[in-house]
Chain A
Amino acid sequence: MTALTGRGARMQPPVDPFLPRPFVVRAHRQDTRDTYTLVLEPVDGVPMVFAAGQFTMMHAFGAGEAPISISGDPARADRLEHTIRNVGAVTKALVRAAPGAEVGIRGPFGTGWEVSSGGGGDVVFVAGGIGLAPLRPAILEVCAARARYGRVLLLYGARTPEDILFGDDLRRWSDEHDIDVQVTVDNGQHAWRGRVGLVTQLIARGGFDAANTLALVCGPEVMMRYAAMALADRGVPKPRLRLSMERNMKCGVGLCGHCQLREFFLCVDGPVLTYDVLEPLMSRAEL
Chain B
Amino acid sequence: MQTIAEYLPQHPFFGGLDESVVALLAGCAVNAHFHPGQHLFHEGEPADTFYVIRHGRVSLEVHPPAGPAVVVDSAHTDDVVGWSWLVPPYRWLFDARATDETSAIAFDGACLRGRCEADPAIGYALLQRVVQVMSNRLQSARVRLLDLYGVGA
A interface residue numbers (CB < 8 A to B) = 34, 87, 128-130, 157-159, 163, 186-190, 192-198, 200-201, 205, 219-220, 222-223, 226
Contacts and interface: CB of A to CB of B under 8 A. Distances in A.
Given A186-B144, A195-B74, A34 B151 contact: yes
Q: Nearest 10 A-B pairs (CB), nearest first?
A: A129-B149, A159-B149, A188-B71, A198-B140, A220-B148, A196-B74, A186-B144, A196-B71, A223-B148, A195-B74
A198 B59 contact: no
B150 A195 contact: no
A164 to B, nearest CB: 11
Contact of A193 (B68, B69, B99, B146): B99
Given A190-B69, A193-B100, A205-B78, A198 B149 contact: no
A158 B149 contact: yes
A25 B10 CA distance: 55
26 contacts: A34-B151, A128-B149, A129-B148, A159-B148, A159-B149, A186-B147, A186-B148, A186-B149, A187-B70, A187-B144, A189-B70, A190-B59, A190-B68, A193-B99, A194-B74, A195-B76, A196-B59, A197-B73, A198-B144, A200-B140, A200-B143, A201-B140, A220-B148, A222-B143, A223-B148, A226-B139
Nearest to A221: B148
Nearest to B72: A196
Interface string B11-46: 000000000000000000000000000000000000
A84 B59 CA distance: 33
A159 B72 CA distance: 12
Contacts of A192: 71
A129 B39 CA distance: 31
B152 interface: yes
A149 to B, nearest CB: 25
B146 A222 contact: yes
A219 B153 CA distance: 10
Nearest to B77: A205
A226 B150 contact: no
Contacts of B136: 201
A222 B72 CA distance: 20
Interface string B125-151: 000000000001001100110111111
Contacts of A130: 149
B148 A197 contact: no
A33 B49 CA distance: 41
Interface centre among A186, A189, A226, by most B CB within 10 Å? A186
B97 to A, nearest CB: 9
A87 B151 contact: yes
B57 interface: yes
B134 to A, nearest CB: 14
